[in-house]
Amino acid sequence: MNPRILVLLIAAAATAWSFRNWRRAVQYVMVLLILEGAIRKWIFPGAQDIVYFGKDLLLVGIYAGFLARDRPGLRPPQLQLLFGLLGAGAMFGLLQVFNPHLPSLLVGVLGFKAYFFYVPLFWILPAAFSSDAELSRFLRRYGMIAIPVGLLAAAQFVSPSSSALNTYARAATEATDITTFGTSARVRVTATFAYITGFTSYLFANVALLLALLGAERWRMRRNLWLFAALGLTMLGMMMSGSRGPIAVLILLLPIYGWLAVARERGSGATTGRLVIAVAFVGGLAAYFGTDAIAEWRGRASGTTDVSERMLTPFVAPIYVLDRAGLLGYGIGATHQMAAAIIKGPHPFYWLDGPNIEIESGRVMLELGPIGFLFVYLVRLIMVVYSLQQVFRLRTLFHRSVAVGCLLFFIAQLAGSVIFEVTSGLFYWFFAGLIATVVALDRQMLLAARASLPQPVTLAAATQAHALLPPAAHSARTAFSPATPPSRS
């Protein structure tokens, strides 16, 4: 059978299954996000485009199943400002699909999907998990997937660039040169992902998740050795990928984590001691087994001379393209990486009246203009503020630790590539749904605690109970009521 037809049949069956089992399918989508690149590279290389949209087909089934659900499940928090911005932004984005600067309506549809397709996860995740135990079990298992992924990355690192392990998910007509550490023969690994960028996005998201889980356990080694192994391999994977940005951002965020997840919690002294020991232990193992990876990463990092410029570019790029974008920009999807493959012309992105840019903040300004730019980045600011508020409001250590992990991820993505990098985009709204889930679980716990307390009997409740008594009981109660004084004769 033609592999493309086979993949289409599998995708159709999976979509139908996800409609009926949408709660479990949410978890499988996140696992597929990790495995998708491996499927494209090694299992179905001739059907990469179909596999690429496989998780999106699963999500279509999940969304339909969620809307047709028979019971509500947990409800997400009511964030009127966030919902208003998302609604207004979606309407503005829908109008942008018809921007006359776009070369095709299809490009606009592709852009709208990039901006808004994963947003419903904010509402779906709270309904997919009904208890802390269920959520914790999934998060722990998901975090530990980093162990086989990291071992594959290590095998790629020690293999030559010509090895079958070191390949990208590219069409046959594209160049297949494998990126290395400069003049070194060592490859910059991708593990199960199609490219380096997707792998590094996953690594940072997994670090945020593992820090949250270990914080909830107060960094105890007992019963958490697999989580420590996953953290060590995740950090080693960052080194072997050669990416400097995720490590630099992580270093900047660690003081925030230390304050919110360790210092302000009860027993912070003992937790800090365990944290120091754990970091030294994991770092020592990583240094012992990853000497070459650390050396290659340090060599690449030390050769960088434009660090400050690269850190400032996401914040100044929108200003540079503001005049060029005008009030409404070139239309949603105008700078999308797949647009040039859809529309053929004299040169790629000819409709932009100038060169395309790489920084996401500049691309958003170029596509949507200042109005759409405000919609997009106000949502990101709200998610940072909201998750920080929940760190101080949530009642259990597990809920607060998850909120800290979400906060770290949201801060890192303020200038990140959430729209034009699919892995980051799906993780972003997964973390948004995660913060909504722990808030809903915390509220559920509070309501259950209140329901278990003895309730005082009010006059209205007593009157209602009296009205429900049978007539004989009314007569008996009247005959012996204290309101009728006994006879003195």
Report the range of poorest mean pLDDT among 154-158, 169-173, 267-271: 169-173
In whole angstroms, give the CA distance from residue 175 to residue 378.
Answer: 39
In whole angstroms, give the CA distance from residue 57 to residue 184.
Answer: 40
- pLDDT recorded at residue 233: 93
**463 lies in a domain?**
no
Q: Where are the alpha helices (DSSP H) in 326-393?
A: 339-342, 360-393
| Cβ neighbours, 10 Å, residue 30 | 18
**476 lies in a domain?**
no
Claim to verify: residue 112 and residue 24 sit in the same structural domain = no
**338 lies in a domain?**
yes
Residue-range definition of the domain harbouring residue 7: 1-71
**14 lies in a domain?**
yes
| Domain count along the chain | 2
Claim to verify: residue 401 and residue 434 sit in the same structural domain = yes
Task: Indicate whether 467 pLDDT > 80.
Answer: no
Across the range 136-153, mean pLDDT stands at: 96
Claim to verify: residue 314 and residue 358 sit in the same structural domain = yes
Q: Are 66 and 305 in contact (CB under 8 A)?
A: no
Tens of pLDDT, residues 4-20: 888 889 989 999 999 99
Q: List Cβ neighbours of 35 (8 Å cut-off, separation of 6 or more).
A: 192
Q: Are 113 and 120 in contact (CB under 8 A)?
A: no
Claim to verify: residue 426 and residue 376 sit in the same structural domain = yes
Across the range 461-465, mean pLDDT stands at: 50
SS3 180: strand
Task: Indicate whether 354 pLDDT > 90.
Answer: no
Across the range 365-373, mean pLDDT stands at: 96
Tens of pLDDT, residues 78-88: 899 999 999 99
| Residue 151's pLDDT band (cuts 50, 70, 90) | very high
**18, 41, 71 - which closes a domain:** 71
**474 lies in a domain?**
no
**12, 41, 71 - which closes a domain:** 71
- pLDDT recorded at residue 280: 86
Claim to verify: residue 88 and residue 55 sit in the same structural domain = no
Q: Which two tokens stand for residue 186?
A: 């060592």
**85 lies in a domain?**
yes
Claim to verify: residue 126 and residue 185 sit in the same structural domain = yes
**471 lies in a domain?**
no
Q: Which two tokens stand for residue 203?
A: 């690594």
Claim to verify: residue 102 and residue 127 sit in the same structural domain = yes
CA angle 371, 377, 381 (to 5 degrees): 135
| Residue 452's pLDDT band (cuts 50, 70, 90) | confident
SS3 321: helix
Q: List Cβ neighbours of 206 (8 Å cut-off, separation of 6 or more).
A: 143, 146, 230, 234
In whole angstroms, give the CA distance from residue 389 to residue 364.
Answer: 28
Residue type, 265: E
In whole angstroms, give the CA distance from residue 116 to residue 118.
Answer: 6
In whole angstroms, give the CA distance from residue 129 to residue 26.
Answer: 10
pTM: 0.90
Claim to verify: residue 65 and residue 130 sit in the same structural domain = no
Q: Are 274 and 221 in contact (CB under 8 A)?
A: yes
Claim to verify: residue 340 and residue 242 sit in the same structural domain = yes
**29 lies in a domain?**
yes
| Residue 109's pLDDT band (cuts 50, 70, 90) | very high
In whole angstroms, give the CA distance from residue 335 to residue 2.
Answer: 33
Across the range 263-287, mean pLDDT stands at: 86
Give the bridge partners for 187, in sequence order: 180
Q: Are 332 and 97 in contact (CB under 8 A)?
A: yes
Per cent of the chain over pLDDT 70 is: 89
Claim to verify: residue 81 and residue 34 sit in the same structural domain = no
Claim to verify: residue 196 and residue 237 sit in the same structural domain = yes
Claim to verify: residue 256 and residue 229 sit in the same structural domain = yes
Map tokens 């109005």 to a residue: 371
Report the range of poorest mean pLDDT among 109-118, 174-183, 479-488: 479-488
Rounded mean pLDDT of the chain? 87
**71, 93, 109 - which closes a domain:** 71
Map tokens 């001691």 to a residue: 273
